[in-house]
């Protein structure tokens, strides 16, 4: 500003050209208005203003006790393909266009300050855009509400001057009175036309303004000149439906403790609940519209109205959601996380777990150990009749375990194919869906959150570990666990159970019983072989006849699998045999971490090599046993072929015998040589076991028995969330096509579950728990959205209706709370359903039978009339646009006018 | 991670000498030079013959990257088929892999695809891989051209270097590049999803404590 520059300069003590403060204010305002650029854009399409994004530019001016913000609101209209820019004034066009009518944003709804987390945040749209359909305008807003009329006048005239001086081509408004009243006064100038915007806001309408006839009269009176064309009227009547009765949607949840006896216990605890406590669709709004009628063809007064909603040419509906219902699944996940805080040990509930000698307390499970060499497959399910006192009664417990451990894995609770070899980069570190670990997690979550809390968890887990012990002792496979070694891509609990199975299987085979795959076959009398099962290595049978020989002489070969190609030993003409070796050692991830840790703590590399050499020694001993005349060179040729360098010269040597060890194998005293020299010819069978299944078994059982309640929660959280995710995917089957951002939400949730499941659990400060808690919010949001979709479906469609593409578009729009058109109005199928819902609600209210349906709607909660006039006047040449929108609702009357004047006539003498 | 996210790897309570710790794995067929490569990098030494690795071994080196001390725990694996079960168990939690072949050995190059499958199967998807053709000093015995190596790397979507542990060519570069891409990936994944970072905990505490029962384990994958 000019005067500021002057003050900066000491030389000019007084600046006589400086204007008054007011003039400075006006000039500043003019500067701001001048700085706005106006771009001519294409005509607006239907509803565009409510769907597009808006941008705001804000400047502030202080003048006396005014503290003004000058805000420019501008819709970001994407350029359209068919560039049909008109030469007419954009503001006039927007005002007059009926396409741009009833700006279809749910404005009343938006004004509620919905603080609820998941409510969609619709683009904020200024009421001026809603009422006038303006795409670009400026608002002067004082920090404090302007009540003083003289102040308003002062501001108004300042604005006039600025608008005039800056030749600002954007409608400019002042906001007056209380801000929440949304009262504005505005002006706009275009060529010879001056447009005055004026808003009236009252609690109740003056009687003549209640009906169209009176309004038209008032409109004409205000214009004060006659136009050739009649006034064009647009009408919209809005109806609200909140009482859905038979179309209401809700989900029942069984949670009362005393009802648990009466219901199918297993069915309840084994399923995740899903649903919402109240109908998420709070309200359905029906708009009946007459987009364009001439004033002379309709009549609307207190006694008679042409506007019968049933005959309205356009119908549209909108949903309003309630964002507060409890979502059962997410709620349960959230609750379950509180279990993790518990530091209680199982032994605090069941102290027999503490005493080593448990035999007396628990019905002597160890007795089973002593006579566990029963070759047949006994049913243990009913034999373990000891009971652990707790909130879950014996019958319920039995039900649970016949679900978790279905006998022979048959019957209605049998496990499906739980082998999962699919590669999925987003795999959740949990277990296969509907595997034992998943079932277990769901049961735990159910009994914890809606049965008897921690006590039932303690009781159930104790029972579970006892059942495992029993199965282990009877050498019964644990069902519902993927076969094979512990899979690090699954959760720790699953790995532990896999480990148990490995141990049970090894023990079984050691004791001369059939491997699991064959047992199962036998038990189920099925022809199909489970070829995936690679537990069992039948080699022992093949080498059995060596047994006698081995005892006779140490030089007799034992434990051969097969010849290695055509290879011969280097020092004699005997073939080189691949030996039977000990199976690799299975490890769960925590054991592996301990191993790694141990290695990391050994600073000497050679010592580490020694630690690692146990399996090398075992293999070398097996090799020596199978190839009594074999040398280290022969071993290397089988074990590490690249360390055997063949001589190229000997082309006649067919058996690759001429050659030498690589340099590294010849380093004096290297691990390979030292281990070889200490290796004795002992077949794998007779070696010290690298893997002690008995010890390992006890280790796993001990691990499970020593969990605190909190750590039980940690072990099961990933499988539980995984199951929950699958549950939501299943529940969303019928609605997913139209739920907004469904794929993104699903992916985000999956990804987050995946990341968290792979992260190490951090218990201090509850870091991990809080992260899981954070994603329960996403679950909640998703669950709610699925229920919203289901609720809308229930209201508007027949059951089992197959959605077509148009339905999907329609539903998607409703999900976004948009005003959504019903083609054909009352004749539309959905229109008919809507009508019948209104009728049902009315009948309910009047306690009438619903059969009495004379198709009618209740009183509208809002009426909107928009009156427009433009074109030539009868005697004053071309007239400017005249616009008036009237909004009549129960507690509000609003009149928004924009009246133009042709200034040529006003100022002409 | 200059301006990047929170440390994914929290320092060990006992060891205050680093800001991050990355676990890296060197894999590839037997005798392609994995141990030599690691010794060259960690100790700057070279011998024509290192004892063939039995099972798995490791070395630790701390480097500076973007003003941060990064402790590298580099696991050196035995390439022999027989050791697959042992070594693949260590894949989990590795943030980077150096997949090595020997440019003088066709077979080791042909096995690259198998190794990639192993990585995919046993590691998590966010592990970074660099393909390395070692022994590039032995030009006379070369059977795999640079172009073939490069082409395979492009096909696999990984970066590629030819190196020589003997002549100390590109050894350091490989490790530095791997550390860089791990850092990039890390800050990227943190940027893309802020909801999971912090989780209510203070900044920089993505991993604050060791879980009970597995003391001092640094892997969080």
Secondary structure of residue B51 in the 3-state scheme? coil
pLDDT at B103: 95
Sign of CA dihedral A600, A604, A609, A610: negative
Angle at A251 between CA A250 and CA A252, to 5 degrees: 125
Strand-pair category, A575-579 with A820-822:
unpaired
Nearest chain A Cα distance for residue B43, angstroms: 13
Task: Decide if A674 touches B, using CB distance below 8 A.
Answer: no
A771 vs B31, B125, B199: nearest CB: B199
Mapped to the 3 state alphabet, what secondary structure does A559-573 carry? CEEEEEEEEECCCCC
10-residue mean pLDDT series, chain A (909 residues): 49 61 82 81 72 80 83 80 63 75 50 40 68 84 83 86 83 83 84 84 81 84 82 85 81 58 75 86 86 80 80 84 84 90 81 49 44 39 52 82 81 75 74 90 90 85 90 88 86 93 88 69 47 42 44 66 82 87 88 88 84 90 91 91 79 69 88 91 88 90 89 91 91 85 87 85 78 88 88 84 84 81 80 82 70 68 85 77 85 86 60
Q: CA distances (Å), A621 to each of A105, A559, A685, A688, A693, in order?
A: 82, 10, 11, 11, 21
Nearest chain A Cα distance for residue B140, angstroms: 17
Q: Do B201 and A765 touch (CB under 8 A)?
A: yes
Integer Cα distance of B101 and B37 in angstroms: 12
Position of tokens 């998607």?
A812
Is residue A459 within 8 Å of A390, Cβ to Cβ? yes
Q: Which of B201, B205, B210, B216 to mutate to test the interface with A (most CBs of A within 10 A)?
A: B201
Nearest chain A Cα distance for residue B214, angstroms: 7
Looking at residue A435, the DSSP 8-state letter turns out to be S
Where are any strands of DSSP class E within A572-721? 575-579, 644-646, 659-661
List A residues 5-34 in contact with B (Cβ-Cβ < 8 A): none
Integer Cα distance of A263 and A446 in angstroms: 14
CB atoms within 10 A of CB B215: 10
Nearest chain A Cα distance for residue B173, angstroms: 25
Would you state the structure tokens that stand for residue B75, as one six-digit string?
A: 């696991």
Q: CA distances (Å), A198 to each of A375, A491, A512, A837, in order?
A: 96, 68, 97, 40
With contacts defined as CB-CB under 8 Å, which chain B residues touch A600?
A: 58, 73
Residue B93 pLDDT > 60, yes or no? Answer: yes
Residue B168 banded pLDDT, cuts 50, 70, 90: very high
Integer Cα distance of A549 and A408 in angstroms: 41
Would you state the structure tokens that stand for residue B109, as one six-digit string?
A: 């190059």
Burial of A235 (0-12, 13-18, 19+ CB in 10 A): buried
Nearest chain B Cα distance for residue A561, angstroms: 15
Integer Cα distance of A793 and A804 in angstroms: 13
Residue B26 pLDDT > 90, yes or no? Answer: yes
What does the DSSP assignment read for A694-708?
A: HHHHHHHHHHHHT-B
Nearest chain A Cα distance for residue B17, angstroms: 17
Integer Cα distance of A539 and A580 in angstroms: 7
Task: Decide if A640 touches B, using CB distance below 8 A.
Answer: yes
Q: A543-561 in b/e burial notation, b at 16+ Cβ within 10 A? A: beebeeebeeeeeebbbbb
With contacts defined as CB-CB under 8 Å, which chain A residues touch B31?
A: 640, 642-643, 662, 664
Q: Which helix (H) or strand (E) holds A887?
A: strand A878-889
Integer Cα distance of A813 and A319 in angstroms: 9
Q: Do A423 and B86 touch (CB under 8 A)?
A: no
Strand-pair category, A281-294 with A892-902:
unpaired
Is residue B95 within 8 Å of B127, Cβ to Cβ? yes
Q: Do B120 and A423 touch (CB under 8 A)?
A: yes
With contacts defined as CB-CB under 8 Å, which chain A residues touch B80?
A: 639-640
Which chain B residue's Cα is nearest to A773? Answer: B199
Q: Do B199 and A488 touch (CB under 8 A)?
A: no
Those residues whose C-beta lies under 8 Å from the C-beta of residue A87, and which sit 6 or more positions away, are none
Higher pLDDT among residues B149 and A394, named by residue? B149
pLDDT at B136: 93
Residues across chain B? 221
Is residue A857 within 8 Å of A838, Cβ to Cβ? yes
Task: Decide if A324 touches B, using CB distance below 8 A.
Answer: no
- The full set of domains in chain B, from first to last, is 20-189 (3.40.50.300)
pLDDT at A362: 42
List A residues 354-413 in contact with B (Cβ-Cβ < 8 A): none
Q: Do B195 and A590 touch (CB under 8 A)?
A: no
Q: Do A600 and B73 touch (CB under 8 A)?
A: yes
Nearest chain B Cα distance for residue A485, angstroms: 10
φ, ψ (nearest 5 deg) of residue A878: -70, 130
Is residue B70 within 8 Å of B98, Cβ to Cβ? no
With contacts defined as CB-CB under 8 Å, which chain B residues touch A589?
A: 92
Q: Which of A340, A427, A488, A598 to mutate to test the interface with B (most CBs of B within 10 A)?
A: A488
List A residues 406-435 in contact with B (Cβ-Cβ < 8 A): 423, 425-426
Is residue B55 within 8 Å of B84, Cβ to Cβ? no
Helix orientation angle between A742-758 and A767-796, rounded to the nearest 10 degrees? 160
Higher pLDDT among residues A248 and B7, named by residue? A248
Nearest chain B Cα distance for residue A638, angstroms: 10
Q: Do A762 and B209 touch (CB under 8 A)?
A: yes
User: Among candidates A787, A816, A796, A837, which has minimal Cα distance to A277?
Assistant: A787
Q: Do B199 and A592 touch (CB under 8 A)?
A: no
pLDDT at A360: 38
Q: Do A760 and B121 touch (CB under 8 A)?
A: no
Q: Which of B126, B192, B200 to mutate to test the interface with A (most CBs of A within 10 A)?
A: B200
Angle at B23 between CA B18 and CA B27, to 5 degrees: 145
Torsion of CA A591, A592, A593, A599, to 10 degrees: 110
Q: A263-292 in b/e burial notation, b at 16+ Cβ within 10 A? A: eebbebbbebbbbbeebbbbbbbbbbbbbe
Is residue A892 within 8 Å of A108, Cβ to Cβ? no
Q: CA distances (Å), B175 to each of A605, A825, B155, B180, in order?
A: 22, 69, 21, 9
pLDDT at A422: 67
Task: Decide if A654 touches B, using CB distance below 8 A.
Answer: no
Integer Cα distance of A326 and A280 in angstroms: 10
Position of tokens 């070889």?
A676
Mapped to the 3 state alphabet, what secondary structure does B86-102 carry? HHHCCCCCCCEEEEEEE
CB pairs under 8 A between A and B: 143
Which chain B residue's Cα is nearest to A748? Answer: B193
Task: Decide if A672 touches B, using CB distance below 8 A.
Answer: yes
B58 vs A600, A665, A672: nearest CB: A600
Q: Do B211 and A762 touch (CB under 8 A)?
A: yes
Which chain A residue's Cα is nearest to B79? Answer: A640
With contacts defined as CB-CB under 8 Å, which chain A residues touch B208?
A: 762, 764-765, 767
User: Among candidates A220, A192, A159, A129, which has minimal Cα distance to A28?
Assistant: A159
Nearest chain A Cα distance for residue B191, angstroms: 14
Nearest chain B Cα distance for residue A36, angstroms: 36
Secondary structure of residue A668 in the 3-state scheme? coil
Residues across chain A? 909
Q: In terms of DSSP H, where are the helices of A410-478?
A: 436-447, 453-473
Task: Decide if A596 touches B, using CB distance below 8 A.
Answer: yes
Burial of A574 (0-12, 13-18, 19+ CB in 10 A): middle
Position of tokens 């006649």?
A652
Secondary structure of residue A488 in the 3-state scheme? coil
Those residues whose C-beta lies under 8 Å from the C-beta of residue A888, and which sit 6 or more positions away, are A205, A209, A210, A862, A863, A864, A865
């Amino acid at each position: 500003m000019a005067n500021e520059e002057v003050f900066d300069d000491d030389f000019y003590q007084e600046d006589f050209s400086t204007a008054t403060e007011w003039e400075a204010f006006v000039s500043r305002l003019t500067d701001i208005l001048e700085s706005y650029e106006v771009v001519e854009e294409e005509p607006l399409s239907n509803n565009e203003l409510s769907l597009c994004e808006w941008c705001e530019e804000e400047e502030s001016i202080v003048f006396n006790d005014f503290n003004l913000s000058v805000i420019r609101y501008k819709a970001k209209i994407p350029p359209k393909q068919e560039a049909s820019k008109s030469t007419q004034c954009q503001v006039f066009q927007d005002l007059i266009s009926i396409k741009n009518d009833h700006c279809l944003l749910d404005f009343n709804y938006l004004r509620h300050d919905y603080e609820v987390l998941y409510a969609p945040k619709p683009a904020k749209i200024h009421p001026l855009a809603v009422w006038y359909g303006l795409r670009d305008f400026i608002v002067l807003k004082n920090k404090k509400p302007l009540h003083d009329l003289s102040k308003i006048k002062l501001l108004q005239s300042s604005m006039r001057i600025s608008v005039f001086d800056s030749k600002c081509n954007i409608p400019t408004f002042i906001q007056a009175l209380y801000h929440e009243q949304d009262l504005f006064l505005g002006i706009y100038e275009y060529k010879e036309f001056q447009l005055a915007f004026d808003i009236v806001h009252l609690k109740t309408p003056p009687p003549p303004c209640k009906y169209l006839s009176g309004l038209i009269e008032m409109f004409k009176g205000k214009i004060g000149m006659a136009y050739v064309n009649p006034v064009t009227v647009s009408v919209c009547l809005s109806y609200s439906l909140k009482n859905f009765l038979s179309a209401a949607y809700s989900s029942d949840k069984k949670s009362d403790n005393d009802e648990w006896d009466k219901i199918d216990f297993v069915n309840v605890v084994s399923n995740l609940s899903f649903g919402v406590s109240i109908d998420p669709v709070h309200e359905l709004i029906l708009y009946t519209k007459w987009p364009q009628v001439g004033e002379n063809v309709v009549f609307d007064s207190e006694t008679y109205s042409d506007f019968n909603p049933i005959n309205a040419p356009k119908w549209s509906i909108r949903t309003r959601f309630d964002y507060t219902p409890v979502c059962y699944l997410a709620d349960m996940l959230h609750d379950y996380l509180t279990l993790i805080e518990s530091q209680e040990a199982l032994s605090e509930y069941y102290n027999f777990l503490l005493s080593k000698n448990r035999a007396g307390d628990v019905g002597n499970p160890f007795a089973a150990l002593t006579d566990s060499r029963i070759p047949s497959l006994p049913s243990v399910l009913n034999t373990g009749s000891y009971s652990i006192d707790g909130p879950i009664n014996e019958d319920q417990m039995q039900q649970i375990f016949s679900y978790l451990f279905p006998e022979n894995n048959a019957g209605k609770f049998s496990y499906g194919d739980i082998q999962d070899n699919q590669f999925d980069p987003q795999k959740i570190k949990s277990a296969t869906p509907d595997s034992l670990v998943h079932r277990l997690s769901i049961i735990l979550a159910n009994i914890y959150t809606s049965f008897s809390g921690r006590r039932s968890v303690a009781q159930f887990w104790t029972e579970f570990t006892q059942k495992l012990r029993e199965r282990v002792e009877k050498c019964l496979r644990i069902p519902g666990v993927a076969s094979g070694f512990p899979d690090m891509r699954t959760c720790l609990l699953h790995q532990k159970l896999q480990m148990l199975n490995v141990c049970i299987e090894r023990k079984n085979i050691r004791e001369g019983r059939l491997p699991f795959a064959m047992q199962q076959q036998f038990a189920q009398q099925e022809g199909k072989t489970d070829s995936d099962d690679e537990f069992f290595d039948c080699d022992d049978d093949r080498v059995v006849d060596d047994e006698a020989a081995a005892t006779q002489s140490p030089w007799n070969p034992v434990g051969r699998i097969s010849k290695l190609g055509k290879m011969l030993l280097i020092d004699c003409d005997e073939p080189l045999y691949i030996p039977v070796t000990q199976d690799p050692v299975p490890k769960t991830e925590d054991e592996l971490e301990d191993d790694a840790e141990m290695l990391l703590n050994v600073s000497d590399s050679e010592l580490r090599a020694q630690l690692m050499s146990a399996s090398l020694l075992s293999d070398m001993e097996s090799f020596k046993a199978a190839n009594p005349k074999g040398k280290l060179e022969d071993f290397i040729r089988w074990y590490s072929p690249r360390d055997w360098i063949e001589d190229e010269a000997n082309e006649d040597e067919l058996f690759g015998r001429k050659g030498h060890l690589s340099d590294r194998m010849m380093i004096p005293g290297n691990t390979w040589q030292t281990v070889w020299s200490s290796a004795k010819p002992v077949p794998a069978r007779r070696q010290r076991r690298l893997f002690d299944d008995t010890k390992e078994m006890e280790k796993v059982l001990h691990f499970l028995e020593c969990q605190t309640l909190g750590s039980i929660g940690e072990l099961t959280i990933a499988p539980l969330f995984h199951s929950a995710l699958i549950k939501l995917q299943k529940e969303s089957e019928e609605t997913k096509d139209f739920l907004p951002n469904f794929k993104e939400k699903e992916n985000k949730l999956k990804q987050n579950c995946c990341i968290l499941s792979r992260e190490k659990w951090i218990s201090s400060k509850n870091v991990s728990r809080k992260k899981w808690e954070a994603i329960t919010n996403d679950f909640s949001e998703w669950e709610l959205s699925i229920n919203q979709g289901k609720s809308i479906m229930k209201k508007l469609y027949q059951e089992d209706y197959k959605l077509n593409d148009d339905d999907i578009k329609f539903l998607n729009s409703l999900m976004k709370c948009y005003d959504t058109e019903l083609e054909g109005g009352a004749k539309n199928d959905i229109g008919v359903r809507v009508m019948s819902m209104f009728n049902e609600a009315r009948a309910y209210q009047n306690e009438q039978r619903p059969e009495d349906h004379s198709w009618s709607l209740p009183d509208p909660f809002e009426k909107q009339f928009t009156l427009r006039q433009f074109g030539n006047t009868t005697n004053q040449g071309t007239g400017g646009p005249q616009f008036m929108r009237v909004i009549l609702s129960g507690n509000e009357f609003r009149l928004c006018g924009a009246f133009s004047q042709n200034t040529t006539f006003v100022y002409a003498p | 991670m200059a301006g990047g996210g929170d440390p994914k790897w929290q320092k060990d309570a006992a060891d205050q000498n680093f800001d991050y710790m990355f676990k890296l794995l060197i894999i590839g067929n037997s005798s392609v030079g994995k141990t030599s490569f690691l010794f060259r990098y960690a100790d700057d030494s070279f011998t024509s013959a290192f004892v063939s690795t039995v099972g798995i071994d490791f070395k630790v080196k701390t480097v500076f990257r973007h003003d941060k001390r990064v402790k590298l725990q580099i696991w050196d694996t035995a390439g022999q088929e027989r050791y697959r079960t042992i070594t693949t168990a260590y894949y989990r939690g590795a943030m980077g892999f150096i997949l090595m072949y020997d440019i003088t050995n066709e077979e080791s190059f042909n096995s690259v695809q198998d190794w990639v499958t192993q990585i995919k199967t046993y590691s998590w998807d966010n592990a970074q891989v660099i393909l390395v053709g070692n022994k590039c000093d032995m030009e006379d015995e070369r059977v795999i051209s640079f172009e073939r190596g490069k082409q395979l790397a492009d096909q696999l979507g990984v970066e590629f270097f030819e190196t020589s542990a003997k002549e100390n060519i590109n050894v350091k570069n490989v490790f530095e590049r791997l550390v860089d891409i791990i850092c990039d990936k890390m800050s990227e994944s943190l940027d893309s999803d802020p909801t999971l970072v912090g989780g209510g905990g203070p900044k920089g505490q993505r991993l604050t404590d060791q879980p009970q029962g597995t003391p001092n384990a640094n892997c969080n994958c």
